[in-house]
Amino acid sequence: MPDCDLLIRNATVIDGTGAARQTAEVAIRGDRIAAVGKLGNASAAEEIDAAGLALAPGFIDTHAHDDLALLNTPLMEPKISQGVTCVINGNCGLSIAPLPTPKAPPAPLDLLSPDAADFFPSVAACFAAREARPAALNSAQLVGHTTLRLAHMDDLDRPASEREIAAMRASLETALQEGAIGLSTGTYYPPAAAAPTEEVIALAEALRCHGGIHATHMRDEADGVLDAIEETGRIGRAAGVPCVISHHKCNGLANHGRSVETLALIDRLAETQELGLDAYPYAASSTTLSIDKVKAASRTIVSWSRPHPEHAGRDLDDVAQEMGVSIEAAVAALSPAGGIFFSMAEEDVRRILAHERTMIGSDGLPADPHPHPRLWGAFARVLGHYARDEGLFSLEEAVRKMTALPAARYGLTGRGRVHEGYFADLVLFDPATIADAATYDAPAAPARGIEMVIVNGQPVWRDGAPTGRTPGRVLKNAATHAL
Ligand code: ZN
Ligand code: CU
């Protein structure tokens, strides 16, 4: 009888905590890491010689919109191909549950699916579907404020009434009891923009007794970004809950360089409350197409268009010229549509990525026909381009931002470290060659340098392809957010 199922020998272990790499052997038994160290005499059903390769905890995508992709494309290639073993869904106020009565999802909730029938009446029903048809990787779920508004309000262009807040709060509490890990808000977007801070605080209060977290696509990521961070801080303090600023950025030419101020403010707030942030490693954003976003950008690529699907992947300027109309008219003709907006400064992207509290989140949009390359490339780009090639931080620090840091922040117990007794979510990669291959022109390309990805002890990616296994689990609220 072998001691373990899989023994990885001679690996350069980067354990996720930020500690310096060490050569070690890692034994896996069942879904767990059985031992880490010098295991000379151990025997295994399978042995891998990992000389020259790095072994890290599987990456946690803190900012995902894979609510439906988990079910539609359970092999989850865009994510497992770059080493992601867990996605946190329901971000930006947008979740696929709970929606007790089907209603047409307004933009941007339709980024998940334009079809009301795809939404679930409860988080429990959504989790049951995921457990009946598991995916290759693990997932956790936030409850979207916009989804709650759609469920309990007739008119989204006004603040919720006391009664509506009570109904949303009851719905959120049920979802948290069913295993959702927190609340997400997207007050930037029209269906939630009319919500005052007090509405969000009233909901966030429900998180406190359930150990939930509040993640937010803030009201403003451009001229008013400092006010928006202050608002996020206020919500966290008033409700007594940890908050995460999603995909932190300083949008628009006038705000380039302001991450000096925003990060200083985040640091100041974080002295007295739990506050984190995530970011993706690109200077272009992507969301629904609108003229104000186009105006704040130096270039816009169309990522999808319902009336004109043939223009996905093309520059908006070229489309407008070909149509013989103004940019405004082209946006109107293409809408509803999505865009990729070159609206950030590289110096801000770097400063934010390098910040010690910053986690990595892809913000990938899996339903887009021509997605932003972050969907397939975010994690490999941080490891290859920013850590190795640009020397922005060490490989150990890059891995920490995608593993132990988010696991602690989101209460994913037993994940995020290469450590005895932890779940065997692991990625084996070549630190010399790891690189993102996805580009703005050709965004659907697996990362280079990923040798093997293991989820709950089972290989899901090997030899440049999915293995077809689907050992992913739904990770439910464990009510621990100690950092
Ligand atoms: Zn967002
Ligand atoms: Cu998002």
One domain, residues 256 and 311: no
One domain, residues 288 and 272: no
> Which residue in 93, 96, 86, 83 sits closest to 410, CA to CA?
86
In a domain, 483, yes or no: no
Lowest mean pLDDT among 131-145, 260-274, 469-483: 469-483
Q: How far is the CA of 216 from the centre of ligand 1 (A)?
A: 8
Band (pLDDT 50/70/90 cuts) for residue 482 is: very low
What pLDDT score does 236 carry? 98
Per-residue pLDDT of 415-462, as tens digits, reads 999 999 999 999 999 999 999 999 999 999 999 999 999 999 999 999
Per-residue pLDDT of 247-302, as tens digits, reads 999 999 999 999 999 999 999 999 999 999 999 999 999 999 999 999 999 999 99
Q: What is the CATH number of the domain that holds 115?
A: 3.20.20.140
C-alpha 422/C-alpha 128 separation (Å) is 25
367 contacts: CB under 8 Å, gap ≥ 6 = 68, 69, 111, 112, 113, 304
One domain, residues 325 and 458: no
One domain, residues 247 and 322: no
Per-residue pLDDT of 30-70, as tens digits, reads 999 999 999 888 899 999 999 999 999 999 999 999 999 99
Whether 376 contacts 280, CB under 8 Å: no
One domain, residues 51 and 178: no
Q: In the chain, how many domains are there?
A: 3
Q: How far is the CA of 5 from the centre of ligand 2 (A)?
A: 38
Q: How far is the CA of 415 from the centre of ligand 2 (A)?
A: 23
Q: How far is the CA of 109 from the centre of ligand 1 (A)?
A: 11
Q: How far is the CA of 94 from the centre of ligand 2 (A)?
A: 8
Q: Over range 324-335, report the average pLDDT.
A: 98
Q: What is the CATH number of the domain that holds 23?
A: 2.30.40.10
One domain, residues 124 and 218: yes
In a domain, 417, yes or no: no
Q: How far is the CA of 185 from the centre of ligand 2 (A)?
A: 10
Band (pLDDT 50/70/90 cuts) for residue 478 is: confident
Mean pLDDT over each residue of the chain, to the nearest integer: 97
Q: What ligand has the least distance to the C-alpha of 372?
A: 2
Q: What is the pTM of this model?
A: 0.97
Q: How far is the CA of 185 from the centre of ligand 1 (A)?
A: 9
In a domain, 438, yes or no: no
| Full residue range of the structural domain in which residue 33 is found | 4-56+445-466
In a domain, 478, yes or no: no
Whether 6 contacts 48, CB under 8 Å: yes
Pairing of strands 32-37, 22-29: antiparallel
Band (pLDDT 50/70/90 cuts) for residue 1 is: low
One domain, residues 195 and 248: yes
C-alpha 49/C-alpha 34 separation (Å) is 18
Q: Over range 221-250, report the average pLDDT.
A: 98
Per-residue pLDDT of 101-125, as tens digits, reads 999 999 999 999 999 999 999 999 9
In a domain, 400, yes or no: yes
Q: How far is the CA of 92 from the centre of ligand 2 (A)?
A: 5
Per-residue pLDDT of 150-206, as tens digits, reads 999 999 999 999 999 999 999 999 999 999 999 999 999 999 999 999 999 999 999
What pLDDT score does 479 carry? 58
**Sign for the pseudo-dihedral over CA of 445, 342, 255, 336:** negative
One domain, residues 321 and 379: no
Q: How far is the CA of 293 from the centre of ligand 1 (A)?
A: 13
In a domain, 432, yes or no: no
In a domain, 357, yes or no: yes
In a domain, 425, yes or no: no
Question: Can you state the angle between helices 225-239 and 259-270, rounded to 10 degrees?
Answer: 10
C-alpha 80/C-alpha 279 separation (Å) is 19
One domain, residues 246 and 361: yes
Q: How far is the CA of 179 from the centre of ligand 2 (A)?
A: 21
Q: How far is the CA of 287 from the centre of ligand 2 (A)?
A: 8
One domain, residues 164 and 225: yes
Q: Phi-psi region for residue 389, left (φ > 0), alpha (ψ -120 to 50) or beta? A: alpha
- Half-sphere exposure (CA, 13 Å, Cβ side) for 343? 24
One domain, residues 384 and 272: yes
One domain, residues 288 and 333: yes
